[in-house]
Amino acid sequence: MANMGDMGDMGDRGANGLGGGAGLLAFRIDLPFDKEKPQVWRKDKDGAWGWKEDPAIDLEVLPPDLTVTWTPRDWSARWFAWAIMGDFATQTAWKSITLTPYPVAAAEVTAELQLLFRAAQDERPDAMGEIVAQNQDYEDCMAFFMALLRISANSHPRTCGLMHVAGLIGLLTAMHFKNAPGSQPQRPRPSQLHPALLPAIEVPGHPAFPSGHATQAMLMALIVEQALPAERRTKLAPYLHTLAGRIARNREIAGLHYKSDTTGGLELAAKVFELLGSVESYADALKLAQGEWA
């Protein structure tokens, strides 16, 4: 085998990026793109195609386009949802929401635990696939709604953006009320009261009431329903709401939540949804999403 020259630095493959949806862009250190000679692929007067070089020495010296502005299309759906969440957090009185207290009487708690034992006995093996698939974060639940609606981030980016809004605001509000559930103490997980429930997956490190999955999933259902035109809204609402209920109940079957946690989450989702309408950035995003279904 002959000696060989430098095979070239493979180059920094660049950060993956978290928001823009950009793929991997390999970047050659030995020839940065801005040092490429500007040229265009054109047909000459004889009809033959060929490169036509620009007088500029490299791409870097071409004049910038100062007319360009940042547009709503440039926002990644996920990051713009953070902006809407910020508006929701500062423009509405969401911390004033009151939730129906969770039951504390021994008989009621025992009855709730019995339901969880029966769910584990009867349904946990069958539900494990969905429980695991919906476990990590709200985007896991989004995937089920997207499958239900047969949409993707490419086909319906604004609708998917609204689901991010639901996921984030659901997370914000659920965590707040888990931490400060009105006059009640932070609620222990069912398996803390009865270890025999042995949850099928890791018990999350936050209190049980209200259920975050119930809050986020039902908020997704309500918001997506709002984005649909009237006729499809009527047809699809039962599917959306049933899916939200199923996602929430899977957390009960897993042994992570009492039924009353789910109820609390659904109540929170409804009250958050009523406040969202007054947030201007949300209303604008909703109009864009509605345009995808026209």
Partner 1 sequence: MSHRSLPMPPAGFDPVEKAADLLRLPEFGLPAMPDAAREPALYRLWREMLAAPLRFVADDSRPHVPKGGTPPAAAGMRLFSLPIRSREARRLPASPNWSGFTRFPSRGDRFSRVAASWIVPAVAAGAPEDRTTLDYRCSIWIGLDGKRRWADSMPQLGTEQTAGGTTRLWWQWWTPKSRRFQHYVDGVAVKPGDTVYCDLSMVAPDRVRLHFANRSTNEFTAVEVDGEAPMRGSSAQWILERPAEPELTATTVEAGELYPMPSFGAVSPLAFAARGMTPDGAVRAYGLDNARATSNVTLRQKPSRSAIVAFARRSGSGSGSVIRYR
List interacting residues with partner 1 (CB under 8 A).
111, 114-115, 118-119, 121-123
CB atoms within 10 A of CB 98: 10
Rounded distance between C-alpha atoms, residue 135 and residue 243, angstroms: 15
Output the smallest distance, CB 124 to partner 1, in A: 11
Output the smallest distance, CB 118 to partner 1, in A: 4
Burial of 180 (0-12, 13-18, 19+ CB in 10 A): exposed
In 44-127, at which residue ranges do the beta strands (DSSP E only) sit? 49-53
Token pair 């042995």 is found at 198
Output the smallest distance, CB 107 to partner 1, in A: 12
Name the residue nearer to partner 1 (CB basis): 115 or 288. Answer: 115
What is the greatest pairwise CA distance in the chain?
A: 92
Output the smallest distance, CB 184 to partner 1, in A: 24
Output the smallest distance, CB 248 to partner 1, in A: 14
Name the residue nearer to partner 1 (CB basis): 117 or 239. Answer: 117
Name the residue nearer to partner 1 (CB basis): 87 or 130. Answer: 130
Name the residue nearer to partner 1 (CB basis): 38 or 245. Answer: 245
In order of 133, 146, 210, the CA distances from 223 in angstroms are 22, 13, 19
What SS3 class is residue 293? coil
Based on its alpha-carbon atoms, the radius of gyration of the chain, rounded to whole angstroms, reads 26
Name the residue nearer to partner 1 (CB basis): 131 or 160. Answer: 131
